[in-house]
Amino acid sequence: MSKLNIVTIVGARPQFIKAAAVSRAVASHNNGTPAAPIVEKIVHTGQHYDENMSQVFFDQLDIPRPHLNLDIGSGTHGAQTGRTLEAIERVLLDDRPDWCLVYGDTNSTLAGALAAAKLHVPVAHVEAGLRSFNRLMPEEVNRVLTDHVSDLLFCPTDAAVTNLADEGIARGVCRVGDVMYDCALHYAAKAEAIEDEVLATLGLRPKGFFLATVHRAENTDDPERLRGIFAAFEQIATPQRPVVLPLHPRTRNRLEQEGLDAPDHVRCVEPVPYLEMVCLEKNAAVILTDSGGVQKEAYFYRVPCVTLRDETEWVETTRNGCNRLAGAEPARIVEAVAAAEGAQPEWLPMYGGGAASDEIIAMLLNTHKATCADGEGM
Ligand code: UD1
Ligand code: UDP
């Protein structure tokens, strides 16, 4: 079998974390099987570019340096996706990889999937099949379109497999578990080693604070929702139990435009690196978030979660009261936090066994082997 060439497309914070797990599985395959290596070229679209939204993850998680940064930057959906599509097409034309690997549901994901599909480069989608059933979300449009042009669809959950089946997609669907859970296990000891220091630096006690993140367009770009969420933070934050809010740059910009200051005892900090975030998540009394990744991590670390959205793709987290959907209305959020604190939910294992990345690599290799065998037979 010839070597397997993969072009991996990443561009936004959660994709760096997911790619860390899969790139580690690539390295582990190459160490064990040097005669049939996987050659992975990581292409960073440049969608996220601040040091604390990008480089810090490559450094801390030992992600191989990207072969290329397309430096696309920010823009409207059409402009950002269009520029990325054009730039990725050039890379794929030069490289002609066996697979184009895309992650999640960002504009970088869609651009990568579309560029590859049009060039007949097979597309593998990690985190396939997630649905919010809300087409107003840019991510939902990106997910649906990406899944429909993908050849291998790596699903983290049973619900994701069902969603794809409901859309008539069964071929190439593999339920592998969640690559973010692989990361949670792999980096657990490293996070634990810095936990005391992270809490001490911020003057926090274990379970003595709320952790919040907000960045979804539906919240940041709707002043009423943004004000509602901040009003809820104001009501729950006390000197004994502050709200710690690592601020996404999108949200920081919106707060400035709205002239919204952080209420008392709401501690806005810069986005934190992954290991620091894990420490904060594990030690929070309750996590309040509109992030997909943070909802899941709350579940991994068995911390009650209140989701600042009207629906979630991670439906299984809500079943046992581990995660509560609270939208953006202050009274509902405050009530959900109180309910979350009083509950003793059952945390069932739902995201695989921590080897999703190895399964993804094994599947890509098997498919490649079959393709090579077909080629030889012709
Ligand atoms: C994107 C994804 C979203 C994902 C999130 C992860 C899309 C449509 N959205 O949202 O699904 O959950 O990433 O964090 O792809 N900005 C900076 N510095 C940066 C990056 C962004 O200042 O390094 C600011 C810019 O003003 C930019 C805004 O944030 O316009 C939004 O960035 P963008 O990448 O378009 O979307 P996100 O909100 O980050
Ligand atoms: N994250 C981080 N620092 C932060 C906020 C989030 O390392 O300040 C991590 C978080 O632990 C999770 C991922 O970023 O692994 C989630 O990314 P984000 O919320 O930006 O996007 P989403 O998952 O909603 O697409």
Question: Is the confidence at residue 28, as pLDDT, over 60?
Answer: yes
Nearest CA owner, ligand 1 atom 2: 106
Q: Between vectors from CA 177 to CA 24 and to CA 287, what angle results, nearest 5°?
A: 95
Burial code (b: 16+ CB inside 10 Å, e: under 16) for 238-272 equals eeebbbbbbbbbbbeebbeeeeeebeebbbeeebb
pLDDT digits (tens, 9 = 90+) for 183-218: 999 999 999 999 999 999 999 999 999 999 999 999
Question: In sequence order, which residues have a C-beta less than 8 Å from that of residue 52 and are 6 or more positions away?
Answer: 270, 271, 272, 273
Pocket test of ligand 1: the residue of 13, 15, 48 to mutate, having most ligand atoms within 8 Å of its CB, is: 48
Nearest CA owner, ligand 1 atom 16: 249
Q: How remote is the CA of residue 278 from the centroid of ligand 2, in Å? A: 10
Find residue 69's DSSP bridge partners. 44
Domains of the chain: 4-178+352-377 (3.40.50.2000), 186-342 (3.40.50.2000)
- Record the pTM: 0.98
The amino acid that residue 252 corresponds to is: R
Pocket test of ligand 2: the residue of 280, 294, 296 to mutate, having most ligand atoms within 8 Å of its CB, is: 294
Nearest CA owner, ligand 1 atom 22: 249
Give SS3 for 228: helix
The residues lining ligand 2, judged by C-beta closer than 6 Å to any ligand atom, are 13-14, 17, 213, 215, 246, 271-274, 277, 291-294, 297
pLDDT of 376: 64
**Is 215 known to be catalytic?**
yes
pLDDT of 1: 66
Computed over its alpha carbons, how large is the radius of gyration of the chain? 21
Please name the residue that has the structure tokens 């996706």.
81
pLDDT of 374: 80
